[in-house]
Amino acid sequence: MRGQFMSWGWPAIFLFAASAHAQLSITAEVNKTQVALDDQVVLAVTITGPQASLPDPQLPALQNFSAYSSGRNQSISFVNGRVTSSVTHTFVLIPRAVGKGIIPPIGVSAQGASAQTEPIEIQVSRPGASAAAPQPPAASRSGPPQAAPAVAGAPDFFVTSELDKKKAYVNEQVTLSVKFYTAVSLNSNPEYEPPKLEGFLIEDLPPLRHYNAVVKGRTYYVTEIKSALFPLQAGRMNIGAAVVRCAVQQALNADPFSPDFFDRFFAQGFAAPRTKTLSSQRLSLEVAPLPAAGKPQNFSGAVGKFSISAALDKTRSKVGEAVNLTITVQGAGNLKAIGDPSLPPLPSWRVFDPVSSVNQEKKADLVQGSRVIRTVLVPRVSGDLVIGPIVFSYFDPRSGTYVSAETKPGFVTVTPGDANAAPAVGFTAPAAPAARGLTRINEDIAYIKVRPGAAIFTRVLEAVADAGPAHAPPFLFFAWTLAFSLYRGRLAADPKGARFRGAWKAAMRRLRAARRASDEAAAAGLLTEALCGYLADKLAEPASGLTMRRVQELLRLRQPHVAEESIDRIRSLWEELDSRRFAPPGAGGAGLPPSLSEETISLLQLLEREFKR
């Protein structure tokens, strides 16, 4: 992934949105609508839809601006097989001319649905002209020095990387800062290649910072980009080098008395660009495991600082009448990797599966936000019932201890329900109409037609029957041997067909093993093997090394009968299983939730109907 080093602030003041489909939406947001020619505009395009993998926005041609990608951020919630995700793409726009600039409608299409934004108008003024939109501080808007005087030991440009800490716990945020220093003019915007990171969950920390700094007596223009890293395992973790590629001015050694001097001057001036590739130093981080001493039984992998609250939508209800419980976990940390808090025993209530979502934001270089869990409770008995307190445990890396936060108890007064009304929660299907009697299909016995080829087989059976029961076992054994030989020969002649036909049974064996697994990561691994093995057998591909991108290509090439909705379900289940397989230690519970196994079986049953041999 490559980004551009551009400066931008984020006082978002205008919002334009449009949606052409109830389940797919797109919004476009700019941080200012009045800008100087030497300034820039930040455009954020957010796509929301009911699938884990959302398409990229179709950015139109921009006649008045040069556009550069500045990264993306995605959040996904997966509940009972239903996926809701949101992706924000950030672009930096550089104006080309003074006057009115237009950002045309930005569109997106997925699964036959489409949506687009309204056009956005931006007024570009001359450099130095006053603008109505708030401007960043002067220090952040200062440009690179024009060929700052060279100083011994101070290069023209260089790149550095640094971490805000050298030691951290598993799943604790570590901030990586990459700084690009330049003391000379550049021909174009530099290209940034992030360092290679394995064993980390990575989140961008916008905006990019721009400022001037003095190093070894020389003034540099500094561009700084920050990222939040969450280590997923203990041990010594390596961080690769960040790479910056830039085009710089190079003085021409031209002889003014040369015959072609003026041709060269008017062709390319006194300077020619040259590309320079810069690399930062490599870094390492010591990651300590979470201590086993004092770990609460309900610990779900949260590392940071959090609080928990709960709310009921009503305090009076009837037996069989639903009550909605909303639990909110809020704070700073990796909210995507924590599990839902466990409810205390509620014998007087019927508890339904929860629905959770993550709202993540980044402030002051910290990843923070909230995780909202909603569940439905149905009282079984009448009386004054108590819910809670609900306890949520997390690890505080600053103190090095586990902390348990809890909600206040909730009280509901339940009265007896209507004896004639059956409790119902959720959707109910309409009852089938009563039968009105038998329908006559036909009035006579149809004539049975005999195929000519069947006569030989009939005569053989008659001969065996006439020979007596003593000859029946040898004949049956001979028939079974012949049929088995034909079957084995068919398998040997068509191994791909054998894999295709046996895919379902092999997947069911792995599913049964996953249900018996006591560890969530192991169960998720077995479900992944069931899904990947089934797809590999159906597509006649080796299971090892099979990726979702490859599966998608093969399905569209070899199995056009498989619907796009099915491919989206495969992708969402694949990603959910991967997140549970590689979740931090302690984040999982005892086994997988039944909804994941049910979603896997439901998906395989659907694919079994759609696959064609």
Judge whether 1-136 and 142-289 match in fold: yes
DSSP H helices, 47-193, are 138-141
* Cβ atoms of residues 97 and 121 within 8 Å: no
Is the pLDDT score of 181 beyond 80? yes
User: What's the pLDDT at 39?
Assistant: 77
Angle of CA points 469, 470, 476, to nearest 5°: 80
Other CB atoms within 10 Å distance of the CB of residue 437: 5
Rounded to an integer, what distance in angstroms lies between the CA atom of residue 331 and that of residue 173? 13
The predicted-structure confidence for 333-381, as pLDDT tens digits, reads as follows 988 878 888 899 999 998 888 888 888 888 889 999 999 999 999 999 9
DSSP of 351-366: EPPPEEEEEEEEETTE
User: What's the pLDDT at 411?
Assistant: 95
The predicted-structure confidence for 404-452, as pLDDT tens digits, reads as follows 999 999 999 999 876 444 444 433 333 333 333 333 333 333 334 444 4
Is the pLDDT score of 175 beyond 90? yes
Mean pLDDT comparison of 18-22, 181-185, 369-373, 510-514, highest-scoring range:
369-373
Mean pLDDT comparison of 15-19, 336-340, 371-375, 491-495, highest-scoring range:
371-375
Higher-scoring residue by pLDDT: 291, 438: 291
User: What's the pLDDT at 136?
Assistant: 40
Higher-scoring residue by pLDDT: 412, 576: 412
Measure Cα distances from 339 to 290, 356, 392, 394, 526 in Å: 16, 10, 10, 11, 20
Mean pLDDT for 238-250 is: 84
pTM, to two decimals: 0.50
User: What's the pLDDT at 77?
Assistant: 59
186: which DSSP letter?
B
Please state, rounded to an integer, the average pLDDT across all residues of the chain. 76
Mean pLDDT for 247-268 is: 54
* Cβ atoms of residues 186 and 144 within 8 Å: yes
User: What's the pLDDT at 72?
Assistant: 67
* Cβ atoms of residues 62 and 45 within 8 Å: no
The predicted-structure confidence for 1-12, as pLDDT tens digits, reads as follows 444 444 333 334
* Cβ atoms of residues 358 and 75 within 8 Å: yes
- pLDDT-derived band at 587 (thresholds 50, 70, 90) equals low
Lowest mean pLDDT of 242-246, 268-272, 291-295, 445-449, name the range: 445-449
Rounded to an integer, what distance in angstroms lies between the CA atom of residue 590 and that of residue 521? 9
User: What's the pLDDT at 386?
Assistant: 93
Lowest mean pLDDT of 239-248, 317-326, 574-583, name the range: 574-583
Other CB atoms within 10 Å distance of the CB of residue 85: 19
Is the pLDDT score of 61 beyond 50? yes
Tokens 């950030």 map to which residue? Answer: 90
Higher-scoring residue by pLDDT: 364, 144: 364
Fold held by 1-136: Immunoglobulin-like (2.60.40)
The predicted-structure confidence for 332-341, as pLDDT tens digits, reads as follows 998 887 888 8
Fold held by 142-289: Immunoglobulin-like (2.60.40)
Is the pLDDT score of 50 beyond 80? no
User: What's the pLDDT at 481?
Assistant: 67
User: What's the pLDDT at 584?
Assistant: 57
- pLDDT-derived band at 265 (thresholds 50, 70, 90) equals very low
Lowest mean pLDDT of 324-333, 458-467, 471-480, 578-587, name the range: 458-467
Rounded to an integer, what distance in angstroms lies between the CA atom of residue 9 and that of residue 131? 15
User: What's the pLDDT at 357?
Assistant: 83
Residue 48 host element (H or E):
strand 41-49
Which residues are paired to 116 by β-bridges? 107
Mean pLDDT for 487-513 is: 76
Thinking of the domain 304-415, which architecture would CATH place it in? Sandwich (2.60)
- pLDDT-derived band at 591 (thresholds 50, 70, 90) equals low
- pLDDT-derived band at 585 (thresholds 50, 70, 90) equals low
Is the pLDDT score of 34 beyond 70? yes
Portion of the chain with pLDDT greater than 70, in percent: 69
User: What's the pLDDT at 174?
Assistant: 96
User: What's the pLDDT at 65?
Assistant: 81
Mean pLDDT for 527-555 is: 83
User: What's the pLDDT at 241?
Assistant: 93
- pLDDT-derived band at 309 (thresholds 50, 70, 90) equals very high
> Which residues in 126-217 belong to E strands, given as ranges?
157-163, 167-169, 174-182, 191-193, 200-215
Mean pLDDT comparison of 128-132, 142-146, 483-487, highest-scoring range:
483-487
Domain boundaries, the chain: 1-136, 142-289, 304-415, 495-610
